[in-house]
Amino acid sequence: MTPQLLIITGLSGSGMSSAMNVFEDLGYFCVDNLPVQLIPSFVQLFERKEFGVTRAALGLNIREGEFLKDFPQVYAQLRARGDLETTVLFLEASDSVLQRRYSETRRPHPLGEGRVLESISEERKRLEPIRTLADVVIDTSDHNVHSLRSWLKTRFAPESAENQTDITVVSFGFKYGVPLDADLLFDVRFLPNPYFVPELRELTGNDQPVIEYLEKNDEAVETTRRFREMLDYLMPLYQREGKSYVTVAIGCTGGKHRSVAIANALNQHLNREGFRARVTHRDVKK
């Protein structure tokens, strides 16, 4: 088995600490905040058979300061080795989500005590060369600790099926922005809106009256059928190419009625067809 080195990096507040905890639980030998210059020395652990290290995860963040400039060169050296599988995982999130997280925790941004948005912008600029090198980029804007943990375990757990693609069907409202990590995006704002039906306004697409309202509309039924056919065609192709994770985003105006109902229907269909799928409703409670 080829030794595996995973380097976890990304924007402050994007969930790197949570990710490190996941990999520790998965049996990785984890070291956080290791200086870039010491990575080659750390790799020697793989060569010392008595240590028994075959999988390791290193945390790297903006606190490395000027040392981050050396990372592309160190990374190139690691990839040139034929005896080590090196993967860079980059975590990020939207500015608004990062700002909210800092507000909730009341922790200062590592780049200083100034305005958080300015610090986030500067951090993005400094980390862009590393993001460009990343093998896996995940936007955690729509993830909580539990969903991020599930995603990482599915993607990196040794027992994961090699050719199985994990599908997340997410409903959202365009008024709150498009999910940044969407691979496929379907807009259903053209369908009749239950919001304008007084008795349905306070319900959601999870409620049977809303589902029945849409099932009585020919365009909604036909749209859902064609979406199913599209996914039936595309998912095997994604699997063939080895894509481990696909996000299918379904959007309506507020993310409460149409997108929720159709996302549920697509998720049920995918699971019936033998795919590994789950559904999440980003804006249903807004």
Q: What is the mean pLDDT of residues 55-79?
A: 84
Domains and CATH numbers, the chain: 4-156 (3.40.50.300), 166-281 (no CATH)
Does the global pTM surpass 0.95? no
Distance CA 235, CA 241 (A): 10
pLDDT on residue 160: 46
Whether residue 44 has pLDDT greater than 90: no
pLDDT on residue 46: 77
pLDDT on residue 117: 84
Using 50, 70 and 90 to split pLDDT, how confident is the model at 180? confident
Task: Give, in order, the Cα–Cα distances in Å from 242 to each of 91, 182, 232, 235.
Answer: 21, 17, 16, 11
Distance CA 92, CA 249 (A): 18
Short-list 226, 91, 232, 78, CA closest to 152: 91
Q: Round the CA-based radius of gyration of the chain to a whole number and report it.
A: 22
Whether residue 50 has pLDDT greater than 70: no
Using 50, 70 and 90 to split pLDDT, how confident is the model at 70? confident
pLDDT on residue 114: 63
Q: What are the tens digits of pLDDT across the range 88-115?
A: 999 999 988 888 888 776 677 777 766 8
Q: Looking at 38-42, 65-69, 137-141, 278-282, which range is the least confident one?
A: 65-69
Q: What are the tens digits of pLDDT across the range 119-163?
A: 888 889 888 988 998 989 999 998 888 888 888 887 887 654 445
Mean of the per-residue pLDDT values for the chain? 88
Short-list 237, 261, 236, 241, CA closest to 251: 261
As beta bridge partners, residue 6 has: 57, 87
Short-list 284, 254, 285, 250, CA closest to 266: 250
Q: What is the mean pLDDT of residues 279-285?
A: 93
Q: What is the mean pLDDT of residues 9-21?
A: 91
Q: What are the tens digits of pLDDT across the range 198-225?
A: 999 999 999 999 999 999 999 999 999 9
pLDDT on residue 113: 60
Whether residue 229 has pLDDT greater than 50: yes
pLDDT on residue 58: 92
pLDDT on residue 159: 52
